[in-house]
Amino acid sequence: MAETKVCDELVRERNKCTFNVQELIHVIDGGEKNTKERKEVEDLVCNDPRLKDKVPEEYLSHKERYENAVRKGCTLFEILREYSQKHNTMDAFQPTNKYRVTFGVVKDISPFMLHMGMFVPTVMNQSDDEQRDKWLLKAISMGMIGTYAQTELGHGTFIRGLETTATYDPDSEEFILHSPTLTSYKWWPGGLAHTANHCIVVAQLYSKGECYGVHPFFVQIRDEETHMPLPGIKVGEIGPKLGFQTANNGFLGFEHFRIPRRNMLMKNAQVLKDGTYIKSKNDKLTYGTMVFVRVLIVTDLAYELSRAATIAVRYSAVRHQSQLKAGQPECQIIDYVTQQHKLFIGIATSHAFRVTGLWLWKAYSKVISDMGKGNMDQLPELHALACCLKGVCSRDANARVEEFRLACGGHGYMASSNLPIINGIVTATITYEGEYTVLMLQTARFLMKAWKQATAGTAMTPTVSYLVKFFDNDRVQWSNDTEGIVRGFQAVAAGKTKAAYEAIQKYEKMGMDYEEAWNSASVQLVNASEAHCRAILIEVTWREMKLLSEKVSPSLGKVLEQLAELYLIYWTLEKRGDLLLYSTITREDIAKQQSVYEQLLSLLRPNAVGLVDAFDVRDEILNSTLGAFDGRVYERLMEEAQKSPLNAEPVNQSFHKYLKPLMSRAKL
| Choice from 6, 46, 92, 144 touching a copy of itself (CB under 8 A) | 144
Least distance from C-beta 431 to a copy of itself, angstroms? Answer: 6
Least distance from C-beta 85 to a copy of itself, angstroms? Answer: 9
Residues 608-667 contacting a copy of itself, CB under 8 A = 634-635, 637-638, 640-647, 650-663, 665-667
Least distance from C-beta 653 to a copy of itself, angstroms? Answer: 7
Nearer Cβ to a copy of itself, position 90 or 326?
Answer: 326
Nearer Cβ to a copy of itself, position 209 or 239?
Answer: 239
Residues 213-242 contacting a copy of itself, CB under 8 A = 224, 226-229, 236-242
Return the SS3 of 36.
Answer: helix
Nearer Cβ to a copy of itself, position 103 or 597?
Answer: 597
With beta carbons less than 8 A apart as the criterion, state whether 316 and 334 touch.
yes
With beta carbons less than 8 A apart as the criterion, state whether 244 and 425 touch.
yes
| Secondary structure letter of residue 230 according to DSSP | P
With beta carbons less than 8 A apart as the criterion, state whether 225 and 165 touch.
no
- With b meaning 16 or more CB within 10 Å and e meaning fewer, what string describes 545-579? beebbeebeeebbbbbbbbbbbbbbbbbeebbebb
Closest by alpha carbon to 149, among 217, 205, 211? 217
Does residue 153 bind a copy of itself (CB under 8 A)? yes
Residues 351-380 contacting a copy of itself, CB under 8 A = none
CA distances from residue 513 to 442, 453, 505, 642 in whole angstroms, order as listed: 19, 21, 10, 65
Nearer Cβ to a copy of itself, position 556 or 569?
Answer: 569
Residues 249-278 contacting a copy of itself, CB under 8 A = 251
DSSP secondary structure string for all residues of 452-495? HHHHHT----GGGTHHHHTSS-SSBPP-SSHHHHHHHHHHHHHH
- Backbone torsions φ then ψ of 146, nearest 5 degrees: -125, 170
Instruction: Give the whole-angstrom CA distance, residue 174 versus residue 503.
Output: 51
Least distance from C-beta 594 to a copy of itself, angstroms? Answer: 7
Instruction: Give the whole-angstrom CA distance, residue 337 versus residue 198.
Output: 54
Binding mask 298-317 for a copy of itself (x = CB under 8 A): --------------------
Instruction: Give the whole-angstrom CA distance, residue 4 versus residue 315.
Output: 16
Q: What count of other Cβ atoms lies within 10 Å of the Cβ of residue 274?
A: 10
Does residue 132 bind a copy of itself (CB under 8 A)? no
With beta carbons less than 8 A apart as the criterion, state whether 234 and 249 touch.
no
- Backbone torsions φ then ψ of 203, nearest 5 degrees: -145, 160
Query: What pairing do the DSSP bridges indicate for beta strands 186-187 and 250-254?
Result: antiparallel
Query: What pairing do the DSSP bridges indicate for beta strands 250-254 and 233-237?
Result: antiparallel
Looking at 373-381, 516-524, 549-557, 610-618, which segment touches a copy of itself (CB under 8 A)? 516-524
Nearer Cβ to a copy of itself, position 365 or 644?
Answer: 644
Q: CA angle, corner 197, sides to 191 and 201, nearest 5?
A: 75
Residues 82-101 contacting a copy of itself, CB under 8 A = none
Which region holds residue 428: left if phi is over 0, alpha if psi is between -120 and 50, else beta? alpha
Contacts of 545 (CB under 8 A, 6+ apart): 351, 352, 355, 560, 561, 563, 564
Instruction: Give the whole-angstrom CA distance, residue 628 versus residue 621.
Output: 10
- In the set 173, 237, 402, 433, the catalytic residue is 433
Query: Which residue type is seen at 478?
Result: W
Binding mask 540-579 for a copy of itself (x = CB under 8 A): -----------------------------------xxxxx
Least distance from C-beta 576 to a copy of itself, angstroms? Answer: 4
Instruction: Give the whole-angstrom CA distance, residue 422 versus residue 400.
Output: 11
Instruction: Give the whole-angstrom CA distance, residue 369 versus residue 377.
Output: 12
Chain centroid to CA 148? 18
| Choice from 100, 107, 115, 155 touching a copy of itself (CB under 8 A) | 155
Looking at 126-134, 156-164, 452-460, 536-544, which segment touches a copy of itself (CB under 8 A)? 156-164
Least distance from C-beta 190 to a copy of itself, angstroms? Answer: 12
DSSP secondary structure string for all residues of 149-187? E--BTTBSS-GGG---EEEEETTTTEEEEE--SGGGSEE
Return the SS3 of 214.
Answer: strand
Nearer Cβ to a copy of itself, position 264 or 301?
Answer: 301
Least distance from C-beta 250 to a copy of itself, angstroms? Answer: 9
Does residue 2 bind a copy of itself (CB under 8 A)? no
Return the SS3 of 233.
Answer: strand
| Choice from 20, 270, 520, 584 touching a copy of itself (CB under 8 A) | 520
Nearer Cβ to a copy of itself, position 47 or 653?
Answer: 653
Residues 387-426 contacting a copy of itself, CB under 8 A = 402, 405-406, 409-410, 412-416, 419-420, 423
Does residue 433 have an active-site annotation? yes
Nearer Cβ to a copy of itself, position 305 or 419?
Answer: 419
| Choice from 126, 131, 165, 195 touching a copy of itself (CB under 8 A) | 195
| Choice from 131, 150, 151, 286 touching a copy of itself (CB under 8 A) | 151
Least distance from C-beta 41 to a copy of itself, angstroms? Answer: 19
Residues 426-445 contacting a copy of itself, CB under 8 A = 427-428, 430-432, 435-438, 441
Residues 439-498 contacting a copy of itself, CB under 8 A = 441
| Choice from 3, 88, 171, 325 touching a copy of itself (CB under 8 A) | 325
| Choice from 124, 285, 460, 499 touching a copy of itself (CB under 8 A) | 499
| Secondary structure letter of residue 478 according to DSSP | P
Residues 584-613 contacting a copy of itself, CB under 8 A = 587, 590-591, 594, 597-598, 602
Least distance from C-beta 640 to a copy of itself, angstroms? Answer: 6
Nearer Cβ to a copy of itself, position 48 or 635?
Answer: 635
Least distance from C-beta 327 to a copy of itself, angstroms? Answer: 11
Least distance from C-beta 536 to a copy of itself, angstroms? Answer: 21
Return the SS3 of 277.
Answer: strand
Least distance from C-beta 325 to a copy of itself, angstroms? Answer: 5
Quote the radius of gyration of the chain (alpha carbons, Å): 27
Residues 31-70 contacting a copy of itself, CB under 8 A = 56, 58-64, 66-67, 70
Query: What pairing do the DSSP bridges indicate for beta strands 165-169 and 250-254?
Result: unpaired
Query: Which residue type is seen at 513?
Result: D
How many residues lie near a copy of itself (CB under 8 A)?
148
With beta carbons less than 8 A apart as the criterion, state whether 120 and 140 touch.
yes
Known catalytic residues are: 433
